[in-house]
Structure formats: structure tokens, C-alpha cells
Amino acid sequence: MLAITVQTESGPALARPSADELAALLRRIGDDDHFAVAERIPGADQVFLQTWREGTGPFAVEHRDGGPDRHLRAECADAGAVAEVFLAWARGTECWRTALDWRPADLYSTPGLDPQTRAAAEERARTDIRTGFWMAEEVAQGVCDAFDPAETPVTVEQARRIVAQLWQERLAEQAQWPAQTDPDRVARAFGALASQGLTALMNFACCSGCALSEVAGERAEGDRGFVFFHYQDTAAAADGHSLSIRYGAYPDSGADSAAIGRAATAALAAVGLPVAWDGDPTKVIEVTPLRWHKRLPSGR
């Protein structure tokens, strides 16, 4: 088994694959999966080997060993050669360093993208990055999806470059944050609520309607009610507003929605968050004021 994890587009990370499993995974890049990111076990910050491929085109292979100044890139049309590079890197041998024509990567430029479109794409990316819940590849896909491909197309590669630059800027910002932030406190409160027989979900679903229709599918045995905030709530908090907390009782539980609201406010207050709620079960709970300094998820 190889002491790495490999994350692809289509499924959960594969931990400690065999050499054959890794080779098979890489051979399918360009079809159902377009990228694979390998990280060592135990992991190290900003140390990874990854590849991207569109259809039957060449593999773009990138290695990073720390910051952006230690990010190398190469192209290779041979899937077998790419697999050998990944295997050598996973095994800790040095032959991968000379197997491809590695060059310093141009990580951030977007040739062919007009400045106005790039500025709009950056703003979209910043919005998703500030929430702190989305992986970089998810942010990049969101940027692509925000533009009409027939009018102002932004390719996946352009979006990834835009996100890469803003991601690094955010990492630099969060290095100055305190050890515990308000989103850390929110996560602690939701953990406590989950232990009290509530379905407690952060950044769950796109809106209230979708979340309310889907929350029962996340219900654990014995849960009497639910507490959540959805994507739009997260975005509002990241934009400097309050965080709206939504809650309710499952109809078959015999529980009371007001009691669920009281449990939620108590848990939030217990971790030091300011809570505004008048006890009316038809109204959302507001966490305000707060500073939404949520650290970026690890990985890519």
C-alpha cells in the first residue's frame, strides 16, 4: 500500500491505494474524472502532486512543495509515464524529478480572458472563498457555472488560476487570525447540538425551502429536531451580516419547535456567541455581531 491519499472529481478520497489501484485511477483521468490530487500520509501543508486532463488531451502534471514559488508543472501525453511519476513520488524515490520536463508554473495568469470578465470572476470566487466551506476545485467550478458559456465563457483552467491566486491571499490573511474564531465557535455549538439528539447541519442546501425538504434525509435515529444554516446564510455572514440559524421539530417526535430554538440559543451562547432571538418559534435565531473568519478547508 502507498502512504498517500488520492482525491478525484467523482468520489471520496482513496486512502493507501495499491500501485495497481493508483495506476487504474490515473488511466481514467480525462473521462469520468478530470483531476487527481495525491497527498502524503501524514499530510504536509501545500505538499502534493496532481494532474488534470480534458478528454484525450495531454496530462497537465503539477508538483508543489510548499508555497507558490515551489510549484512546478509539466505536460505528458503518456498515461503510463504519469502513473510512474505518481508511483515514484508516493514511494519516496527521486526519479520522478527527472522523468518529466518540469518548469516553474505560471499559476495565475489567464490569457484570452478580458479584464472585465476576470474582475467579475474574481468577485464570484472571493464570495465562495470567504465562506470557508468550499474546496478550491468547487469554487472554480462555481466560477465557471456563473457565466454563460455562449457569451462570456470562463474555462475551468482559467477559473482554477483565478481561484489559486485568491486562495493564497486568503491563506495569508488567516495566518493573522486568532487561534479561535467565531466560525470555530459555531462549529463547537453545532457539535454540542448534534450530541443532544438534533440534526445539526452547517452550510446545508442552497436555501430554506430545499433545506427543509432535505433535512429529514440527514436525520439520525433518535433525533427529535433539526438546526441548520444554508448556503445563503453562510454567504450573508461572510459578507459581514448576521448568521441566521434555522430550526424545528420533526412532526413525529412530539418535540416542540420553541424548545429546539431554546436549545440552539443555549448552545450558541455557551460558546460565547451573541444571540438575538425573542423566543418566537416562527422566527430565526440571529448570531450577531460576529466576524466570519472561517479557515479554508485543507486539500484542494
| Widest pairwise Cα distance in the chain | 67
Beta strands in 149-298 (DSSP E): 198-201, 225-228, 243-249, 275-276, 285-287
At residue 299 the predicted structure's pLDDT band, cuts being 50, 70 and 90, is low
Mean residue pLDDT of the chain comes to: 93
User: Is the pLDDT assigned to residue 137 strictly greater than 60?
Assistant: yes
Cβ-contact 148, 188 below 8 angstroms: no
Three-class secondary structure of residue 284 per DSSP: coil
User: Is the pLDDT assigned to residue 204 strictly greater than 60?
Assistant: yes
- Tell me whether residue 260 is exposed, middle or buried, using C-beta atoms within 10 angstroms of its C-beta: 0 to 12, 13 to 18, 19 or more: buried
For the chain, the residue count is: 300
pLDDT at 184 (0 to 100): 98
Task: Name the range with the highest mean pLDDT among 39-48, 152-161, 276-285.
Answer: 276-285
Task: Name the range with the highest mean pLDDT among 23-37, 95-109, 142-156, 254-268.
Answer: 254-268
Distance of alpha carbon 214 from alpha carbon 41, whole angstroms: 35
The predicted model gives 18-38 an average pLDDT of 89
pLDDT digit string (tens) for 45-75?
889 999 999 888 999 999 999 888 899 999 9
Alpha carbon separation from 277 to 189, 197, 267, 274 (Å, rounded): 16, 21, 13, 10
> In the chain, pLDDT over 90 holds for what percent of residues?
81
pLDDT digit string (tens) for 113-134?
999 999 999 999 999 999 999 9
193 backbone dihedrals φ, ψ, rounded to 5°:
-65, -35
User: Is the pLDDT assigned to residue 149 strictly greater than 90?
Assistant: no
pLDDT at 153 (0 to 100): 86
pLDDT at 15 (0 to 100): 94
pLDDT digit string (tens) for 158-195?
999 999 999 999 999 999 999 999 999 999 999 999 99
The predicted model gives 29-35 an average pLDDT of 85
- Tell me whether residue 166 is exposed, middle or buried, using C-beta atoms within 10 angstroms of its C-beta: 0 to 12, 13 to 18, 19 or more: buried
Distance of alpha carbon 89 from alpha carbon 106, whole angstroms: 22
Handedness of CA 161, 165, 170, 176 (dihedral sign): positive
Residue with cell 460576529: 290
Q: In what order do the strands lie in the sheet with 275-276?
A: 198-201, 225-228, 243-249, 285-287, 275-276
More confident residue, 35 or 265: 265
Cβ-contact 107, 68 below 8 angstroms: yes
pTM for the model stands at 0.72
pLDDT at 98 (0 to 100): 95
The predicted model gives 149-161 an average pLDDT of 88
